Amino acid sequence: LHVRSRRQRQMCIRDRLLVIHNKEIQQQLVEHSWGQQQVAQASHVLVLCIDTNLGEPDVDKYFERVQEIRNTPDEIINGFRDYLKNAIASKSIEDLLSWGKNQAYIALGNLMTVCANERIDSCPMEGFLPEKYDEVLNLKEKNLTSVLVLPVGYRAEDDFMKDEKKVRKNIEEIVLEIS
């Protein structure tokens, strides 16, 4: 799988992306995915994870990378770097995990857009047991926790739903205009 978007290459300091294409592991994850078979049937399962141990060293590492890539002087980034360090230090672990999950949703949206552009089917999932995924994938030892799952691949030719139209709400039901 070679799905790469600008956003994917530049994920937030909290985001991690696991790409699973080991059928045995995928099959193990089905029971922790409310029995959803697309986890086993997909060619790849993308698991979006967040760092559970975010701190000042992570912020410094991120801004070192910014300087390496952009050659940005300290005087330009110091204010934002200090702001992030203070914001992280002042938040509870629950707040940090919530922030990280919100960041993962941004990455998920971009991954789904890339898949759609490449005509790759994707199925975003919250319906899974993160603690069990973390266990199967040994994420605790990496200071990570899983937050979202995205099975991807090409629909099987014998899938009876493959040619069915998508059922969505009418645009008027979901878009409200304010003049």
pLDDT of residue 9: 37
pLDDT of residue 162: 80
Check whether 21 has a pLDDT greater than 50.
yes
Go through the chain and tell me how many residues it has: 179
**Is the Cβ–Cβ distance between 44 and 3 less than 8 Å?**
no
Token pair for residue 58? 């992570």
The vertex-26 CA angle with 24 and 29, nearest 5°, equals: 115
pLDDT digits (tens, 9 = 90+) for 119-174: 999 999 999 999 999 999 999 999 999 999 999 999 888 888 888 888 999 999 99
pTM of the entire predicted model: 0.84
pLDDT of residue 4: 41
pLDDT of residue 7: 37
Give the separation between CA 104 and CA 100, rounded to whole angstroms: 6
Across-strand partners of 49? Answer: 16, 146
Token pair for residue 174? 């979901």
pLDDT digits (tens, 9 = 90+) for 49-107: 999 998 899 999 999 999 999 999 999 999 999 999 999 999 999 999 999 999 999 99
Burial 153-170 (b: 16+ CB within 10 A, else e): beeeeeeeeeeeeeeeee
Give the separation between CA 47 and CA 55, rounded to whole angstroms: 22
